[in-house]
Structure 1
């Protein structure tokens, strides 16, 4: 009888629904990495004096995908996050706020350069994705 109670308890626990995974946007390490790549990309596109460290960016991209897979996300879930217009709009708005807070003026390439140099100097992840030409 005791064994039956243990077996029934195990079965009851195994039929409980698994907790849903949070949206990838809510996984801070992943969302922060995607944001940093997007900021570095905007800096290098808008500053003629700064270019990308492409191998580092590709490595970070690969690491983020691996982390997501290790957390149990499928390729389809990762692709949906990467391709989502809602997520792109959210990151654009977050990026605009970041640029504004850091003195970047949209039509002033040198303001992007100043931010890029600052990020490089402080050895941030954004800075690690950039280099002065």
Structure 2
């Protein structure tokens, strides 16, 4: 009977420490940020849709709290969200996603259509936007 607790203790001691994936590879964080980048692109390219800045700030705060609970430090989170390369990557991924939906830079109709659809579907993208129609 004493062997089981000893064996468990030995296994736990031998197990590698839980390692976090790099923050720029964490799926939930990146998917949420991508939706924000998509919302920004829609608001920037559609004259009848605006960004809901306070909602976006609230979502960023939720995302920061999520990252901290996962074990990332405040410094890691801050470095990630202010990194110019990561911002460029996020904007490029947003542009690619929008292109699959028919958005073309310089042609606001598609951005407006996509934005209105996202608002109607009540997605996170839509939640971050307001139609001024």
TM-score interval for Structure 1 and Structure 2 normalised by the shorter chain: 0.7 to 0.9
RMSD: 2.2
* Unaligned segments of structure 2, at least 5 residues: none
Deviation of the 1:74 alpha carbon: 0.3
**Structure 1: how far apart are the matches of 2:81 and 2:10?**
38
Q: Match of 1:41?
A: 40
Deviation of the 1:90 alpha carbon: 2.0
Q: Match of 2:70?
A: 71
Tell me the TM-score normalized by structure 1.
0.84
**Structure 2: how far apart are the matches of 1:42 and 1:65?**
22
* Unaligned segments of structure 1, at least 5 residues: none
**Structure 2: how far apart are the matches of 1:14 and 1:72?**
20
Tell me the TM-score normalized by structure 2.
0.84
**Structure 1: how far apart are the matches of 2:125 and 2:61?**
16
Q: Match of 1:91?
A: 90
Write the mapping of 1:103-122 to structure 2, written as runs, cut at 5 A: 103-122=102-121
Deviation of the 1:68 alpha carbon: 0.2
**Structure 1: how far apart are the matches of 2:39 and 2:92?**
15
